[in-house]
Amino acid sequence: MHRLPVLEARRTELETCVFCPKLCRSACPVSNVERTETLTPWGKMSSAYFVAQGDVPATASFARTSLACTGCYACRDMCDHKNDVAGTLLAARAAEAALGILPSSATDVSRNFPAHLERSRAAVRSLADGAPVRADAPTALLVGCTYARAARPEAAAAIQAATGLLREPVALALECCGLPLLHAGDPAGFARQATRMAESLERHRRVLVVDAGCASALRLRYPEVGVNVRPAVELLVELAASELGKLASVPRPSATPVRYHDPCQLGRGLGVYDAPRRVLSRVLGRAPDEFPANGDAAACSGAGGLLPVTMPETSKNIARARQAEHERAGGGEIATACASSLLAMRKAGSSEVSDLVSFIARAVPPFRP
C-alpha cells in the first residue's frame, strides 16, 4: 500500500471487500438512493484499495467515495467477515486529507472546528440559565453540540430529564466530543480534542451522555486513539430504563402511532436496542410502533458521518425514504434518540418527529433544588 501506507493496517478489510460478490450492497443507505456501483460498500472500499496500491491516480474524484458513508454499520453487520467498512473509510479520509485530495466539504469542517467549538460552548452555557446546574456536581451531562445548537427544546428537556431522574443538579460538559474531526479526516485533531474532553471530565464521578454519537465517541472511538474517560460513561436512555419506577405513564390523547426509529450509533454502534423501547413503553402505556426494518436491521436516517455536509442531497433523500416508510406503515409520530436523526427526519417530511428525551422529561417530576 505504498501510495496510502496508513491503510496497510486495513489490508485485510480492503482485500476481503474488493474480492467479494457484494452481498452487502442492499445494506448501504447511500448506494440505495444513489443507485451506483461506485458507492456500494464494495465500490468505496475498492476505490480506497486501488488508490492505496497506486493502481489509479490519487485524485479528488476517487477520494469523494470515502465520504459517501454515514458510518451506520449496516454493511458490517451483513458481512460474513464483519468487515469494518466505516472504520476503514475513516482511515482512507485521513490518508486522503494528508495527500491534499480530500474534498474541501470535509476538510473545511476541520479548519472551522475552533469556531464550531466556541459556538457550541456558548450554546451549552446558555442552557444553564434557570436550570438546576452546578459546576461541581458529581454527574456531568454531555448534551451534545447538535442538541445544544440546533435542538434547543430537546437540550433543555435533557437537563430536566437527567436532574429529574438523579434528583440532584448536574454539571454541563462544555467540550465537543470531537467526532466531526474524525469524520473530516483529522484523527490527530480528534485525539487532541478527545484528550481535552477526558481532562475536563476527570473531576466528576459519572458522565451522562444524551447524544448517541457522542456516546459512541467516548466509548468506542476514544480508546482507539489512546484516550480513556475515567468516570463511568452512561447514556441518559440507559439511566431512564434502569429507573422506570421514576417515570409516570403519560398516555397519548389518541391512538396515533408513535413509531421508534433506531439510531445507527445507538443500536448497531453501541448495541442499545431494548432501553429506548422500555422507556417508551412505560411512558406511552404501551409498546411503541415499529418500522418494518427495526432493531439491528433498522435503516439509517442519512444523518451521520458528515454526509449532510459532504453530500447534502443524498442525505436528504435517505431521510425522505425513512419518512416514506413511516407513512406507508401507518404514519403518526416518529420517536428517535439521536439529535442528527431528529433534525434530518424533521426536514425530510411532514410527519411529527420527537426525541426520546422529550418523552422522559414529560414523565419525570422536575427537580427543584
Lowest mean pLDDT among 10-19, 66-75, 189-198, 325-334: 10-19
Q: Name the strands in the sheet holding 258-260, side by side, starting at the edge strand that comes first in the sequence.
A: 289-290, 258-260, 333-336, 352-355
pLDDT in tens, 127-153: 999 999 999 999 999 999 999 999 999
**pLDDT at site 369:** 85
Rounded distance, CA 63 to CA 95, Å? 10
Q: How many residues does the chain have?
A: 369
Buried-exposed string 193-203: b where 16+ CB fall within 10 A, e elsewhere: bbeebbebbee
**pLDDT at site 358:** 97
pLDDT in tens, 222-243: 999 999 999 999 999 999 999 9
Lowest mean pLDDT among 13-17, 104-108, 295-299: 13-17
pLDDT beyond 90 at 55: no
**pLDDT at site 213:** 96
pLDDT beyond 80 at 281: yes
**Integer angstrom CA distances of residue 116 from 110, 112, 173, 176, 343:** 9, 6, 15, 9, 18
pLDDT in tens, 283-326: 999 999 999 999 999 999 999 999 999 999 999 999 999 999 99
**pLDDT at site 144:** 98
pLDDT beyond 90 at 161: yes
Counting residues of the chain whose pLDDT is more than 90, the rounded percentage is 84
Confidence class for position 13, pLDDT limits 50, 70, 90: confident
pLDDT beyond 80 at 254: no
Residue 72's closest CA among 355, 307, 365? 307
User: How far is residue 109 CA from its own chain's centroid?
Assistant: 16
Rounded distance, CA 237 to CA 165, Å? 11
E strand or H helix at 207: strand 206-209
Widest CA span in the chain: 65
Residues 6+ apart with CB under 8 A from 322: 261, 291, 299, 301, 302, 334, 345, 348
pLDDT beyond 90 at 3: no
Rounded distance, CA 119 to CA 116, Å? 5
**pLDDT at site 52:** 87
Q: Specify the 3-state DSSP secondary structure of 142.
A: strand
pLDDT in tens, 28-41: 999 999 988 999 99
pLDDT beyond 90 at 366: yes
pTM for the model:
0.93
Residue 6's closest CA among 104, 70, 89, 71? 89
Q: Specify the 3-state DSSP secondary structure of 335.
A: strand
Residue for cell digits 451522555?
A: 209
**pLDDT at site 1:** 72
Rounded distance, CA 326 to CA 340, Å? 18
Q: Tell me how many degrees the CA angle 324-339-366 measures, rounded to the nearest 5.
A: 120
Instruction: Find the mean pLDDT for residues 163-177.
Output: 98
Residue for cell digits 411529527?
A: 352
Q: DSSP string covering 72-138, please?
A: --HHHHHSTT---HHHHHHHHHHHHHHHT-S-HHHHHHHHTHHHHHHHHHHHHHHHTTTSSB-TT-S
pLDDT in tens, 178-235: 999 999 999 999 999 999 999 999 999 999 999 999 999 999 999 999 999 999 999 9
Residue 206's closest CA among 156, 141, 161? 141
The mean pLDDT value of the chain amounts to 94
Instruction: Find the mean pLDDT for residues 34-51.
Output: 91
CB under 8 A, 24+ apart: contacts of 241-248: 241/274, 241/275, 241/276, 241/278, 241/279, 243/165, 244/278, 244/279, 244/282, 246/164, 246/165, 246/364, 246/365, 247/279, 247/282, 247/283, 247/360, 247/363, 247/364, 248/283, 248/363, 248/364, 248/365
Residues 6+ apart with CB under 8 A from 129: none
Rounded distance, CA 173 to CA 140, Å? 6
Confidence class for position 97, pLDDT limits 50, 70, 90: very high
Rounded distance, CA 50 to CA 57, Å? 9
Q: Name the strands in the sheet holding 171-172, side by side, starting at the edge strand that comes first in the sequence.
A: 171-172, 139-142, 206-209, 232-235
pLDDT beyond 80 at 354: yes
Instruction: Find the mean pLDDT for residues 247-268.
Output: 91
pLDDT beyond 90 at 123: yes
Confidence class for position 349, pLDDT limits 50, 70, 90: confident
